[in-house]
Structure 1
Amino acid sequence: MSSLRFLYIGDVVGKAGRAAVSKLLPGLRAELSVDAVFANAENMAHGNGISTDTVNELLAAGVDYCSSGNHVWDNKDGVEYLKRSDARVIRPANLPASNAGRGWMTVEVGTKKVLLINLVGQVFMPQQADSPFSCIDAILKQHPPEQFNAVLVDMHAEATSEKQALAWYLDGRVSTVVGTHTHVPTADLRILHHGTGLVCDLGSVAAADSVIGADKDKVLHRFLTQLPGSLSPAETGEVLFNAVLLEIDPATRQTVRLTRVDRVVAG
């Protein structure tokens, strides 16, 4: 049976990130013969959350579904989008259930069923989130992995140790754990003993001339003065595009190969 081929794109940051996805993705879908494209969308709307327009822009570019993180509620219009029954963006499941949005979704890719789950870490993160370990146990009890051909988890967290620990905890139960949040791609792609794939951070789609996507001069001002100041995305110049190609056996739900897909997009 042919493997499912999913492209998972790192945090898309601001206008520059959205433009790079729109420019690059149609060709990548054909080049890599992907069955579906996922992306982390929490920084799409000028670096702060999502909006209906930015979600639609990403979907039009060829992204099928989005996960997010702790910033997903930063934009009021984005909060309203998350309330929609047809929303194609999910939010961390282990933050309060009263918040807008769903923490997981089931989707169909051709004839195959995929479960997409979003979690946020507890280590070095600003929110007081529930345990991602107990949260995903509850989700998988409600949605047994055996009902799906692939189970994908976006663990939006600061600490690589927490992401690795979650992957080991889920080894054999989910197909792949992808980490997001730091905007820095990691080189630790591997498949654990029982077939769960792991990458601690996908990276981002953001301006190269920046500090994790933010205007470098504003970031430097904060570090040098220790004074508060607003941050905004860098919007000019080359853009670094980070993603990982996931190849999953739909019969066993195991990851069979992980491949980094990193590109530079001219500004």
Structure 2
Amino acid sequence: MKQGAQGSAGVGGSGTGEVWAARVPAQATAADAGGGRRDVGGAVRGEHTHSEPPLPRPRPPVVQRSSVRGQILDALRSALVGGDLKPGEVYSAPVLGERFGVSATPVREAMQQLALEGAVEVVPNRGFRVVERGMRELAELAEVRALIEVPVMLRLARTVPGERWAELRPLAEATIRAASSGCRATYAESDRAFHCAVLALSGNEQLVRIAEDLHRRAQWPLVGGPVTRGRADLVADAAEHMALLEALGAGELDVVRGLMGEHFAGAR
């Protein structure tokens, strides 16, 4: 989902700004999904069924609701990274639902997922407060990511053939384009995709999931004001992806180690 006009949602359920301009499509009902209203026998009103066998009733819109929740979750994550959801502020599901054009239920479900991830915390009878984080937590996340990712990449540099690294070049180029746009949310998505693709070469799905979670947490904004990393910082960060791919393909372990150290230090 692309990020729309930015602004801030109502705090404590009374704000007037916009967190996300795009409205999620309205959920289709079970009757609408079949192209018209059906009676018990499965016929559409006004049409003859002749001898056709009755069509199965559409499944309840559980999948659609899950899809809406997923869209809302992606939008909220983008709003977090972009700074539209401010650390320390409280946001209610009904107000955010109005901004997205959906009911409060998928928003509440998405917020509960963010609470599990540590991005927000539940405030009884009010909504969800965006967690306040400082530089120390960001530095700790960078340290943990380095402890996990660097040894894996060094092993992959010794075992993965060069042509496999070349296949990841489009993902590295995508991070450069995203960084050039200056949109933190867009860059965050492409940055995670690149790192996950590199780690996926290890064949360890649990590793990829843990690393992605740490990466996502490292992208949340810090308390105390606007986002500090500008377009130039994002472009420099993305350029390191291309250099890293070349070093991995060439098996230059010292270069890989040095680049990863700079990469995680810059992420702070």
Report which of the two has the higher share of strand: 1
TM-score (structure 2 length as normaliser): 0.26
TM-score (structure 1 length as normaliser): 0.26
Structure whose alpha-carbon radius of gyration is higher: 2
